Amino acid sequence: MISSVFASLLASGRAQFNLRALDARRRFPALDMNQFSAFLHDGLDPLVVAVAAAAPERAGSFTLAAYDMALELVAHGLAGPAAKNPFLNTVWRELAPLFAPLLASAPVPVLGMLSNAAIHVSGVAGARPAQWHELMAAIAPQVANVAELRAVGQILAWRAGIAHFRLGAIAAADSLPPALALAAFGEPCADWPQLRAQLQENPWRGNAQGREFGAFTGLGGDFATPPQVRGTHDGFIVLSGERQYLLVADACGAVLHGATPEEYAQASMQLPAPVRLDGATLHIGSGSIELDLPPGDIALAANGHTLAITSPYTHAIRLLPLV
């Protein structure tokens, strides 16, 4: 059963809601009204209750806007019990209500941003939607307006593993009050200008271990053959089989993008002076690391801040910070 407040709103605008549903059914012949009803119950009802509690006079307009969005999302198979990815359902049900005051004042931008972001985050291979959800929920009480929500969402998307958003997230943080920016980066006690400079200079700040990326496609990974890597300004150009990729990796995650043969050809094979391979022992400056790979045929590639280690005996790329 839906809440009484939602039921009351639906009843009062019955003709309008029915017309919208009918219109959507014509536009989307595959729209399943049972799925939609279920999403109204599980996804929209909690939102309506939250908005009605925060701003009762805005509940009606919010419901109308959210209803339209729900139709669109369910019609595209993005929401509802049969959604391709259930994360959006979770965001509507659990996260969005935490932003009830903002939803009341700007339902389309706020719910639209949260919905689109949920789809985006859950669609990036290697991203951590659950972490994004958790971080957003934690910071929700501190977000005062739509602009802050926009920037905070972007910062937390980077922290949740969308590595190529790093520079954009830092830039977005410039629009936030310093305290909120620090909270978004998870360092409430730091000095924002100092933290900003460190984040800008060192993509691996907070992660000195580096990370391993990639696996065999037969086991659900990205690479059909052991990858070969060359350095580029943005990250690394990876060649596996007949395909090229751009790998962007940092402390928070690693994401693969498409690349071209030309980019691979133009990428760098040079190594910085402090890096040296001796059998299976990697020397970086004065430090050494024993690699668990057969010596010989180990390949190294580097860009300004990261060293990539590959071998014909593995489909994974080992990424180590150089800074």
Partner 1 sequence: MPPFNLFQRLSQAPTKPKAAPAARQFDVADLYQGPIGLGDEGETAARPFDEKLRQAYFWIVNHAIISPHYDIEYNDGPSQTYSVGDSRRTLNLPSAQSYSSFILLPLLTFATRRKCLFVGGPGRGKTASALLMGVLAGSSVKEVKRAMQHGHPQMTVADLLGNPLPFDMVNAQSMDDIRIAWRAWLGMRVKIVDEYNRIPTRTQSALLTVMGDNYAEVLNHIYECPEAAWYLTANDDQGGGTYQVIEALRDRVDVTVQALAFNPRFLNELLLRVEENLRPEELVPPEIIFSEAEVDQIGEAIRQVAVPDAVRRRLEFFASQFELFETAGGQFEYMTKDTARLSGADRGAAQAADNGRDRLKDLGCQTLNGISVRTLMALLIYAKAMAYFRGNGEVELEDLRQVLPFVLHNKLQPDPDAPFFALPENAAYRSDRLGWLRCLFDLSNDEFNRLDLDRDDPVGLLSAEFDQGLDGLSERETLARLNRIEKLIGERTRGRKLYGPLYDDLLKLKYLHQRYTNYRSWLRTQ
Per DSSP, the residues of 102-141 read: HHHH-HHHHHHHHHHHHHHHHHSTT--HHHHHHHHHHHGG
In contact, 107 and 113? CB cutoff 8 Å:
no
Shortest separation between residue 154's beta carbon and partner 1, angstroms: 5
Residue with tokens 């919905």: 115
Q: Quick one: which segment of 63-71, 177-185, 202-210, 212-220 binds partner 1 (CB under 8 A)?
A: 63-71
Mask: binding to partner 1, 164-203, rule CB under 8 A, as x and -? xx-xxx-xx-------------------------------
Shortest separation between residue 132's beta carbon and partner 1, angstroms: 10
Q: Quick one: which segment of 97-105, 198-206, 253-261, 312-320 binds partner 1 (CB under 8 A)?
A: 253-261
The angle, 0 to 180 degrees and rounded to 10, between the axes of the packed helices 14-27 and 4-12 is 80
| Cβ density class 55-65: b for 16+ within 10 Å, e for less | beebbbebbbb
The residue from 24, 31, 49, 139 that contacts partner 1 (CB under 8 A) is 24
The residue from 9, 162, 181, 302 that contacts partner 1 (CB under 8 A) is 162
Does residue number 112 form part of the binding site for partner 1 (CB under 8 A)? yes
| Cβ density class 75-94: b for 16+ within 10 Å, e for less | bebbbbbebebebbbbbbbe
CB atoms within 10 A of CB 70: 23
Does residue number 212 form part of the binding site for partner 1 (CB under 8 A)? no
Q: Which tokens go with 166?
A: 């790093």
Does residue number 26 form part of the binding site for partner 1 (CB under 8 A)? yes
Shortest separation between residue 179's beta carbon and partner 1, angstroms: 21
Q: 220: exposed, middle or buried (C-beta count within 10 Å: 0-12, 13-18, 19+)?
A: exposed
* For partner 1, the closer CB: 66 or 316: 66
Q: Which tokens go with 213?
A: 């990326």
Q: Quick one: which segment of 24-32, 49-57, 214-222, 300-308 binds partner 1 (CB under 8 A)?
A: 24-32
State the Cα–Cα distance between residues 107 and 68, nearest whole angstrom.
Answer: 11
Residues that bind partner 1 (CB under 8 A): 23-24, 26-27, 68-69, 71-73, 76, 78, 108-109, 111-113, 115-117, 119-121, 150, 153-154, 157-158, 162, 164-165, 167-169, 171-172, 232-234, 246, 248, 257-260, 262-263, 266
